[in-house]
Amino acid sequence: MSSKVRTGIEILLIGAAAALLAYANYLTFLVVPNERLMGPVQRIFYFHVGSAVACYASCGVLLVASLWVLATRSRFADAIGCAASEVGLIFALIVMLTGMIWGHSAWNTWFRWEPRLVTFLLLCLIFIALNLLRIFGDPAKIAQHAAVLGIVSAVTVPVVVYSVKLLPHVAQLHPQVVENRGLREPIFEYTMFVAMLALVLLQSLLVWYRARLELARRAVDGVL
């Protein structure tokens, strides 16, 4: 693929991400009505769920990159894993922050030790550990150790997703909005889909450009 074609595709993807993000904000703040029970704070739901999906997408990229590293010791794959771990941490922190804001408004508590919240906190801590490993780990073993931890992060995702099934509804706070068809109005579902698509596309672009920066840094340092 020529550099001009690649640049054109990148410009289109960046434009699509910017347009989708702008459209998601327009729908969220100017079109979607206030939810009957939660009021305006329910609008954070679209970015909370979208960021969670983007975080899971980073885990998917990290899983592929980690298996690639363990199988071939590829430095290119390690750079992708490095990028995915950083971007995944950003979206994990967004999920935690927006979840705490929503939780305080809906349940009058910032955090509670229930399955979904605890398992996602564990995933967030794994991402923090991954990034600390990149800074303080043994340079000769960082790639392999990070790959193993990256696989652990990916395995944690289904635990997070299905954690709400572990206890009866009365024993947990986290709602199962999507699973229980809680979005009764079509505009709610449509806005959630647009926000998810926008944030996943943004996540993909961030991983791609962060990986390119990492590869360029390693080339300058002479480690490629």
d(CA 144, CA 56): 21
- Whether the CB-CB separation of 115 and 174 falls below 8 Å is answered with yes
pLDDT of 12 > 70? The answer is yes
Of 52, 47, 50, nearest to 196 by C-alpha is 50
- Whether the CB-CB separation of 110 and 100 falls below 8 Å is answered with yes
pLDDT confidence bin for 103, thresholds 50/70/90: confident
User: Phi, psi at residue 35, to the nearest 5°?
Assistant: -70, 145
pLDDT of 5 > 80? The answer is no
| Better-predicted residue by pLDDT, 187 or 82 | 82
Q: List pLDDT tens digits, range 24-33.
A: 999 999 998 8
Tell me the domains of the chain and their CATH numbers.
3-221 (1.20.120)
Q: List pLDDT tens digits, range 112-134.
A: 888 888 899 999 999 999 999 99
The DSSP output letter for 27 is I
- Whether the CB-CB separation of 224 and 57 falls below 8 Å is answered with no
pLDDT of 47 > 70? The answer is yes
Ramachandran area for residue 175 (φ above 0: left; ψ -120 to 50: alpha; else beta): beta
d(CA 22, CA 217): 32
Distances (CA, A) of 173 to 23, 56, 84: 31, 22, 30
Report the mean per-residue pLDDT for the chain: 88
Of 122, 123, 134, 151, nearest to 62 by C-alpha is 151
Q: 3-state DSSP call for residue 35?
A: strand
pLDDT at 107: 77
pLDDT at 42: 82
Q: Which strand (E) or helix (H) includes residue 176? A: none
**Beta-carbon contacts of residue 166 (< 8 Å; ≥ 6 apart):** 115
Q: List pLDDT tens digits, range 161-196.
A: 887 776 655 455 555 555 554 556 788 889 999 999
pLDDT at 7: 83
pLDDT at 173: 54
User: Phi, psi at residue 184, to the nearest 5°?
Assistant: -75, -30
Q: State the number of CA atoms in the 13 A half-sphere of 200 facing the CB.
A: 16
Q: Write down the H helix ranges in 108-185.
A: 115-136, 142-162
What mean pLDDT comes out for the span 44-67?
95
Region of poorest pLDDT, from 13-22, 103-112, 156-165:
103-112
| Better-predicted residue by pLDDT, 115 or 79 | 79
What mean pLDDT comes out for the span 194-219?
95
d(CA 42, CA 216): 42
